[in-house]
Structure formats: structure tokens, C-alpha cells
């Protein structure tokens, strides 16, 4: 299969690490897209769920690993399984409920029944398969599944390194920092916005650590904020932040350094925009220390953490991409809050999420528009490269990879470097 | 179901059509004036009805409506400069309840948008609470539930 694809033998022409130039085919070639689905999405850890989305024994949700529809489920012992949503008889999907609770999955076509762990339990009239039919060989196709701090990842690659090694210590550190948005409570998914965009998946992959676009694309969002908040988002002018390559294609964009660790600066006075909320939380009976911690957490983290290939932790929400075709990508913006935390706090988090995110947000529609414009633009001038070389001039070495200016395209270079290593198949 | 005066249905229909026309023409300042001060404009996701505590597509009080309109009009939002053009119909209007000066109405909304030479079609149920004011009505609550509100949507550069 690989050898029969000489078309992509010249990966340097598609992406050059030295020049940081991306070829137009990277967004436009359907054969390359198919190759990516095999070499990347079938060969690495892919985010599939947050544990709070299916909290109980027997609860499940549907998800995707690349193009493969999967079911993520907790069995009776609470163990998490991920398997392809395809009956082993003649391929019908065994589940079309997006989220729910069940004791088994039964195929609607001829009634093969599968356990929560994907094993084939029973089938009608098995005699016709003969005595040596082995049920153990006919369970749902399973993926290896591991979690880190509530985030569930799955992979088709059986012998891949453990998830924590793939993430690495710095990514794990940033995930832990991000999850401090629970404000002392476990982080819980509160809902999601979903929209599909006519763009290649890598256009989205590039965006989460792209500070350069923020004041331009999100000007109308910034204009709808109070002065103090607008000032907080002015990270480009202030230029105190940075973007850092964290290895394996991951990167972090630190926009608001004082919000890197939400447990710090808790002795400072509560910001004006959160005064009313603080009152409400006090009224719910929380101590002043808790009020400060919760209010700080409601404001979100100060960074975007982008994980290769499909999930990012963006200030206050999770952003997930699912490739559909070479020029279509599904996006989910998942709202998170405090499991068991004050209602007023979760309500405010939801309102803040609605303000920027989703099909009617003040931010997402403008992102979607420029992403689509990239895809429309690459229809022409096929010989021209896409430049991701911004900020190479003054990058400095970080712990695991280079660290650049807040508006540097360091994160994109990290992702494309990993893309290339995986496409080589090393 | 209570018997509804034919005149009420006619008046309500005329008001909803006027609003639909205002939205298709993107005459947003006029639209803002159709509202009560404490009115809510909501587009929920899924079937939940605990709008204040659930994630919606939008949950707009007067300030958010004003900011949203400001965003559409200021020319800095690339998705709404220019926005998609829309043609909508409001039909299957049912007056559900009348109490005091409030009237609850539901209707079918069907909208086609056009941008970049591609058209997209949306359908949903719209639920209105109208408040009598002067000789006419004001919007006090408007909830538009898209048929696929919990599915994959696209971004919207206009109002439903
Ligand atoms: S396809 Fe599933 S039982 Fe036949
Ligand atoms: Fe953006």
C-alpha cells in the first residue's frame, strides 16, 4: 500500500521544515487526505471523549477516530472501552444514539448482540455457522484506550507508546493547569457547539496557536467587551506571551501569563466584571477563599494548548476537529464547568461560551469564514506555498522544542513537523 | 385548545410576517425596537427547556441583542460583511394561549441562505410570547428550535 503511493514520496515538496512552506496540495489533494487518514489517524492517539460525557456504568457516547465512527463506553466495572460502530456480521452500525446508557449493543439487522466491552455475546440461530464458529473472534473492533486527567484517547495502533509518553511531561503539566478551571471541583462537560466548515482539517490544526489572527478576525468580539476584558485580550500589543513547541506536534500558546496557573494571584481583588457573580456565590454559602478560587476559574485559563492531531484546550473550552473529506472538517466547541460547583458559576461559564463560540457566537463564525476563505483561496495559484515561517527570526530553544514570539507560527511548525514524521511512517 | 378569534390570528400573523420581513431585510434597529426590555431571544440546542442553565446557540437579553446587532452592522465581522442573504417563510401559525396581555404562539420557520454561490436550508419551530402594546405587539420571548439544533450546523451571519 505504502510502496504503491510514489506520488507522496517527495514529502519535502509538501512541507519543508527548513523553509516552513506548506504546498497547496496539502489542503486540496483527496489522495493525500486518504493517506493522512491511514498514516496519521490510524497511527496515533486520537481524542474521543471527556470522562464526564459518559459518567456512569453503561453510559456511552458516539465519537470518531479519523473517519471511523466509534462508540466510547464504560462497562459494568467502570472500565472505558472504545470500539468501531460496525457490526461484525454485515456491517450495520450497532448504535445511532449519540449519548445514553445501555446494558448492551444489539445490531438492528439480524440481532447480533454485543456486550459493553464489545464482545459478541449472542446471535440468533448460530448453528448455521457450524461448530467451530468462535464468538471470541467476532467482537466489535476494539481500539486501545487510555485517559489522562479526564481526557479519553483511543488508537488503532496496538503497540503505540503509552498515552502519557505521547503527551510528554510538559503537555501533561499544561493539561493539569487547564483543568484547574474546575475551581476545586472536577471539570464537567456542559454542552457543545457543532459546526462543519468547508476546509481541510489542517487549516483548523494551525489555528489554535495562531495569535496573529486574533485582533483582526475577532475585532468585533473585542469591541463587545468591557474595557478591562478587552485589555486582557490585547496580548499581541503587550507581547508578553509566547508560543512553544512541546514535542510530538503539540504546542502551547501562552496569551495571558497571569492566568497560566489559576491558583496564583488569588489574594488580588476580584475583577469588576465578576463582582456580581462573586455575590451570588457567597449567597450560595461558599467561603471567601472558595469564592475567589471559583471566580478566578470562571474566567478561564490564559493559554491554548494544541494537541496533535485533533484536540485543543482553548482558554476555557475544548476544541475538537474531525476530518470528513479533503475539504470538509467538523468542529466541536465543548463547554466545560464545575461538577457540583455553584450554579451561578456554571451559568456564567455557559453565557461566556455562548458569547464567543459556536454557530451564533461573536467569534466562531468569523473563524469559520476565514478558514473557508483559505480553502477557497487554495483553488488558485497551486504553485504558491502557504507560509508558516512567521517568527523564525527570533525563536529560542525551549525545553523540548523552539519557543517563539506570541504571534509566531511555532505551533504550526511543530504540527507540520510531526505530520511529516508520521507521513514518512518512521 | 381554546377558540381563537380570527382577528387575533390575523393580527398575530401580520406581526410575525412583519418581523420576518425585517429580518430578511436586515433592518436590525427596527427589529431591536420590536422587543420588550426584559425579553429573551433564545436558540436552544436539543430538547432541553432549562434555557438559563443549559448551553444554547444564543441566549440574548436586551444587551446581547444590541451587541449582536452592533457586531453585524459595524463591518468588522468578516462573516457578516457581507452576510449571507436570506429568504424565510413563517407559516403553520398556531395561537396557543392567551392570558392577560400575553399571547403564546408557535409557527414553522423555513429559511434559505445564500452566500458564496451556495445555498443552505434551515427549518425549525419558532415559539413566541407576544405582549400587547399600544395597538400592536412586542416580542417578549422568542425561541427558535432548529430541527437539527444538536447536529452539525454552520455558522450564521443573520438571525432566525
Ligand atoms: S449486520 Fe448486524 S446482525 Fe447482520
Ligand atoms: Fe479565532
Residues A209 and A243 sit within 8 Å (Cβ to Cβ):
yes
Cβ density class B90-105: b for 16+ within 10 Å, e for less: beebebeebeeeebbb
Q: Which of B76, B56, B60, B79 is nearest to B68 (CA)?
A: B60
Residues from chain A that touch B43, judged by Cβ atoms under 8 A, are: 360
Q: Measured between CA atoms, how close is B103 to chain A, in angstroms?
A: 27
- CB atoms inside a 10 Å sphere around CB A24: 18
List pLDDT tens digits, range A89-133: 999 999 999 999 999 999 999 999 999 999 999 999 999 999 999
Residue A11, ligand 1, Cβ within 6 A: no
**Residue A237 located in a structural domain:** yes
Quote the Cα angle for A368-A329-A101, to 5°: 110
List pLDDT tens digits, range A152-172: 999 999 999 999 999 999 999
**Residue A263 located in a structural domain:** yes
Within this chain, do residues A145 and A74 fall inside the same structural domain, yes or no? yes
Instruction: Provide the domain count of chain A.
Output: 2
**Residue A4 located in a structural domain:** no
Task: Answer whether A357 touches B (CB < 8 Å).
Answer: no
**CATH number of the structural domain spanning residue A295:** 3.90.380.10
**Residue A32 located in a structural domain:** no
Atom of ligand 1 nearest to the CA of A123: 3
**Residue A14 located in a structural domain:** no
Question: What is the pLDDT averaged over residues A8-31?
Answer: 94
Residue A138, ligand 1, Cβ within 6 A: no
**Residue A247 located in a structural domain:** yes
Within this chain, do residues A332 and A257 fall inside the same structural domain, yes or no? yes
* Closest Cα in chain B to A191: B55
Alpha-carbon span A341 to A345, nearest angstrom: 7
Residues A140 and A86 sit within 8 Å (Cβ to Cβ):
yes
Which domain, by its residues, includes A98? 46-155
Domain end, chosen from A155, A190, A211, is at A155
Question: Between residues A96 and A230, which one has the greater pLDDT?
Answer: A96
A419 burial type by CB count under 10 A (0-12 exposed, 13-18 middle, 19+ buried): buried
> What SS3 class is residue A96?
coil
> Which among A346, A355, A366 has the least Cβ separation from residue B78?
A366
The ligand with the least distance to the CA atom of A140 is 1
Contact flag A98-B79 (C-beta cutoff 8 Å): no
Within this chain, do residues A237 and A361 fall inside the same structural domain, yes or no? yes
Domain end, chosen from A155, A186, A207, is at A155
**Residue A9 located in a structural domain:** no
* ipTM of predicted assembly, 2 dp: 0.96
| Domain annotation for chain B: domains and CATH numbers | 6-146 (3.10.450.50)
The residue whose CA has the least distance to atom 4 of ligand 1 is: A110
**Residue A13 located in a structural domain:** no
In angstroms, the Cα distances linking A227 to A5, A197, A222, A272, A362 are: 55, 32, 9, 11, 17
Within this chain, do residues A136 and A184 fall inside the same structural domain, yes or no? no
List pLDDT tens digits, range B84-111: 999 999 999 999 999 999 999 999 999 9
**Per-residue confidence band for B159, with pLDDT thresholds at 50, 70 and 90:** very high
Within this chain, do residues A88 and A125 fall inside the same structural domain, yes or no? yes
Say which residue the cell 470518531 belongs to. A64
Within this chain, do residues A285 and A419 fall inside the same structural domain, yes or no? yes
The ligand with the least distance to the CA atom of A233 is 2
Within this chain, do residues A177 and A50 fall inside the same structural domain, yes or no? no
pTM above 0.90, yes or no: yes
Within this chain, do residues A103 and A194 fall inside the same structural domain, yes or no? no
Domain end, chosen from A125, A155, A185, is at A155
Within this chain, do residues A195 and A60 fall inside the same structural domain, yes or no? no
**CATH number of the structural domain spanning residue A73:** 2.102.10.10
Within this chain, do residues A131 and A243 fall inside the same structural domain, yes or no? no
Within this chain, do residues A235 and A125 fall inside the same structural domain, yes or no? no
Within this chain, do residues A93 and A205 fall inside the same structural domain, yes or no? no
Amino acid at each position: 500500500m505504502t510502496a504503491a503511493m510514489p506520488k507522496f514520496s517527495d514529502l519535502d515538496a509538501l512541507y519543508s521544515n527548513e523553509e516552513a512552506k506548506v504546498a497547496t496540495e496539502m489542503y486540496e489533494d483527496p489522495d493525500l487526505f486518504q493517506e493522512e487518514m491511514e498514516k496519521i489517524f490510524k497511527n496515533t492517539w486520537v481524542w474521543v471523549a471527556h470522562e464526564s460525557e459518559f459518567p456512569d456504568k453503561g453510559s456511552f457516547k458516539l465519537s470518531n477516530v479519523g473517519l471511523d465512527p466509534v462508540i466510547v463506553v464504560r462497562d459494568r466495572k467502570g472500565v472505558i472501552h472504545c470500539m468501531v460502530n460496525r457490526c461484525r456480521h454485515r456491517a450495520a452500525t450497532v448504535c445511532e444514539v449519540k449519548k445514553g446508557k445501555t446494558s448492551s449493543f444489539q445490531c438492528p439487522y439480524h440481532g447480533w448482540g454485543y456486550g459493553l466491552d464489545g464482545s459478541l455475546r449472542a446471535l440468533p440461530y448460530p448453528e448455521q455457522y457450524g461448530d467451530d464458529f468462535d464468538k471470541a473472534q467476532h467482537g466489535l473492533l476494539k481500539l486501545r484506550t487510555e485517559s489522562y486527567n479526564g481526557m479519553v484517547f483511543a488508537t488503532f495502533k496496538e503497540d503505540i507508546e503509552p498515552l502519557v509518553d505521547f503527551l510528554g511531561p510538559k503537555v501533561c503539566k499544561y493539561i493539569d493547569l487547564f483543568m484547574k478551571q474546575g475551581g476545586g471541583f472536577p471539570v464537567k462537560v456542559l454542552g457543545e457547539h457543532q459546526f462543519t466548515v468547508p476546509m481541510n482539517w489542517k487549516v483548523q490544526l494551525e489555528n489554535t496557536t495562531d495569535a496573529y489572527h486574533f485582533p483582526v478576525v475577532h475585532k468585533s468580539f473585542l469591541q463587545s467587551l468591557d474595557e478591562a476584558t478587552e485589555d486582557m485580550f490585547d496580548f499581541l500589543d503587550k507581547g508578553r506571551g509566547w508560543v512553544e513547541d512541546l514535542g510530538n506536534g503539540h504546542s502551547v500558546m501562552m496569551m495571558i501569563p497571569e492566568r497560566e496557573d489559576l491558583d496564583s494571584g488569588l489574594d488580588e481583588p476580584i475583577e469588576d466584571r465578576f463582582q456580581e457573580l462573586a455575590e451570588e456565590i457567597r449567597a450560595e454559602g461558599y467561603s471567601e477563599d472558595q469564592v475567589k478560587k471559583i471566580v478566578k476559574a470562571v474566567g478561564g485559563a490564559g493559554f491554548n494548548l494544541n494537541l496533535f492531531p485533533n484536540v485543543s484546550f482553548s482558554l476555557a473550552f475544548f476544541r475538537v476537529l474531525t476530518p470528513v473529506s479533503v475539504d470538509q472538517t467538523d468542529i466541536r466547541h465543548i463547554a466545560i464547568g464545575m461538577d457540583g460547583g455553584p450554579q451561578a458559576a456554571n451559568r456564567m461559564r455557559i453565557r461566556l461560551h455562548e458569547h464567543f463560540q459556536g454557530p451564533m457566537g461573536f467569534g466562531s463564525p468569523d473563524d469559520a469564514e476565514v478558514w473557508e476563505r483559505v480553502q477557497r483561496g487554495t483553488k488558485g495559484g497551486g504553485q504558491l506555498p502557504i507560509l508558516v515561517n512567521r517568527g523564525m527570526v527570533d525563536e529560542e530553544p525551549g525545553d523540548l522544542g523552539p519557543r517563539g514570539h506570541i504571534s509566531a507560527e511555532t505551533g504550526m511548525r511543530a504540527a507540520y513537523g510531526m505530520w511529516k514524521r508520521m507521513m514518512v511512517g518512521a | 385548545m381554546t377558540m381563537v378569534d380570527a382577528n387575533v390570528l390575523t393580527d398575530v400573523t401580520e406581526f410575525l410576517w412583519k418581523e420576518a420581513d425585517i429580518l430578511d431585510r436586515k433592518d436590525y434597529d427596527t427589529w431591536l425596537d420590536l422587543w420588550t426590555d426584559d425579553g429573551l431571544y433564545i436558540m436552544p440546542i436539543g430538547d432541553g427547556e432549562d434555557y438559563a442553565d443549559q448551553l444554547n446557540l444564543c441566549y440574548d437579553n436586551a444587551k446581547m441583542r444590541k451587541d449582536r446587532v452592533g457586531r453585524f452592522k459595524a463591518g468588522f465581522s468578516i462573516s457578516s460583511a457581507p452576510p449571507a442573504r436570506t429568504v424565510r417563510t413563517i407559516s403553520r401559525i398556531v395561537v396557543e394561549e392567551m392570558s392577560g396581555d400575553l399571547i403564546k404562539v408557535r409557527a414553522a420557520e423555513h429559511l434559505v441562505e445564500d452566500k458564496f454561490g451556495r445555498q443552505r436550508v434551515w427549518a425549525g419551530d419558532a415559539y413566541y410570547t407576544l405582549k400587547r402594546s399600544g395597538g400592536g405587539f412586542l416580542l417578549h420571548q422568542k425561541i427558535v428550535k432548529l430541527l437539527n439544533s444538536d447536529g452539525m450546523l454552520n455558522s450564521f451571519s443573520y438571525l432566525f
